[in-house]
Structure 1
Amino acid sequence: MTVSIVGTGQSPYTRHVRAGTDTSRVIARAVQDALFDAGLRPADVDGFAVSSFTMGPDHAIDLAWRMGLRLSWLMQDTNGGASAGGMLQHAVRAIEAGDASVIVLAAGDVMDGAAFAHLVANYNRATKEHLAPLPMRGPNGLFAMLTIRQMEALGLTREDYGHIAIAQRRWAAENPGAVYRGPLTMDDYLNAPLVAEPLGRYDCVPPVTGADAVVLIADPRDGTARARVLSVRSSYNSDQQAGDGLATGLRSCAEAGWEEAGIGPAEVDLACVYDDYPSMVVAQLADLGMIPALEDTSAFIRRRIYTRELPVNTSGGQLSAGQAGAAGGMHGLVEASRQLMGLAGPRQVPARHAVVSGYGMVLYRFGACASMTVLEAAE
């Protein structure tokens, strides 16, 4: 049995949220849009999974009840950037086992100033007890140190990271859902205020309010536009905290993911990787095998990413579209699915295969969770 994504939805991203905006309503709108896109109704849904940092005190079952869903399968994921892959992995297995036939996956948050400040100060025990008391805000300082280490290891410069941010902004210009769509030049990038050296303003993902959703079903036979799930793998590895941070959990699951998919990195036409910082784009592409082991990373960035010869984060990624809390983990899955279904509008690329990766849940130094998904356009 093959499982496919047949619908996607997105609650509009916004940098400045209206007072009183409710997380459940934001997520519900994305779910409604995804079901409409799939030509389905809430009554057709028998499985639901959600990821959110700001839905409390409600839980998945409360949101399902508010949306009028009658379910035989339910899941709530809290693993941030890796949540979409984790939910997808469980949902695929549930459909294969016959536990559900139509599953909606959703993620979203209200990220106003107060919500963001609370999240970065109380992310987990490690953050609350050891990082929050330090004179630094959120993960920027941690990833500034990681970026310096990556620059030294790979011989990268700030211009190399700028090429990534600029390429994604060019993609964002063609995405009406992106929060930042205006031109970004290398001078703009290099002269922007520093946040945590060497990270400048355009290296750090902007928090926004919004939500994303996808609809999964067993592979239809009626010619419905769809993105087939060829493989999905996850890594939850606390040992990453002892390393240098230059390798993500993708390194431990990529080989199995490609083998299950039946294709390799060279056959991928589109990559949507979690991009809270440009250095993490580099790390994930390397761990997925998208950057050949013997190729100079700086040259790869200039030759493949900056020229957009290899489409990377064609929505503009989170760096330009915005990071809607836990929805950041689903942003790439929605974009890859839309591209493979031919629904990406002016930014449409000719793609048959796409890889999507997630990364997140910072413990003491680095993200402890990662996921990869390989998708194929229906013929």
Structure 2
Amino acid sequence: MTDTSVLINDEDEAAPAGPGIEIKSLYKIFGPNPQKWIDCVKAGMSKEELNRKHGHVLGLTDISLEIPPGKISVIMGLSGSGKSTLIRHINGLIAPTVGEIVCDGADICQMSAKTLRQFRRSRTAMVFQKFALLPHRTVLENTCYGLDIQGVPRATSEPVARRWITRVGLKGFEESYPSQLSGGMQQRVGLARALATDADILLMDEAFSALDPLIRLDMQAVLLELQQELQKTIVFITHDLDEALRLGDRIAILRDGKLEQVGTGQQIVQHPANDYVSAFVREVNRGRVLQAATVAGPLPEGKLPAMTLPGKLVLEEAARRMLDAGVLRATVVSARNRPRGVLEMADLLSAMVQRTETSPQ
């Protein structure tokens, strides 16, 4: 099938006001003298050779990545791919061997210790896989913690914390301790603590990975609901493709410290960049991932089909609605109900069962 897909995105959504992040040519070598070997790595020295011959570990190789403001950017990869190393560069917990990380025109890697501390406290918040709650503090006190670090008085911070505790569904548990909560409830506290600081940038490192599957889905739904309103710049780390596809406005796939592909979930599922990415997406239920706008053809001249479908409707539901209506064609519309393309039943079914093809290099 010829790729004539219609993208329905930017013109139908208000531009987020928060900061974006640009990562430029980032390398990270772990060891006693990383600067000595950076030119060799740039010239092509492999990770294995660097480790075997010189006792250094190559963590990240030439990472250039734009993280758009107000969106969820997912960094996905298997264990050892470098995803947690990368997210820790964004708030300066790890310094690169070379490279830049630019936010609002300032290079985080060049900030003074004082400026970096202020950046971490006021501009970023982190949600951890293991919850990282203080066991001697109540839910309310844990939620206040980031504001305590900023020096905000409790008279000001407690009403803010109570509001976020309610928003994440924990009203009534303010005086409970972490040991009295389930894993899902503890992670809700971690999310409330991060949101209470009103940081522009939210860093989530395998935040839901330790949760049971149903609780994990519930937390994903909570995050998506909050993000629809808040439009934070979120960097979300995961090893799970289903989670990446559900949450990510954009997805970056890492392997051995290198970027394999960056794109929307739709782009990655339909057009994996190489065999490695193709192996990730092979078992994806395309009908529950691909959207009507991705498969729709361009608007024809003349009369449009009377039936309309939202551009972000997944193909499985689009097929169900078209079958119920007894139609073979539907007009795909934007969030503002503007016609953007026409979806043919034949193209829809083909996209749902079509073998994934690797994009040409």
Q: Which has the higher contact order (CA 8 A, sep 6+)?
A: 1
- Larger CA Rg, structure 1 vs 2: 2
TM over 0.5: no
> TM-score, normalized by length of structure 2?
0.21
> TM-score, normalized by length of structure 1?
0.21
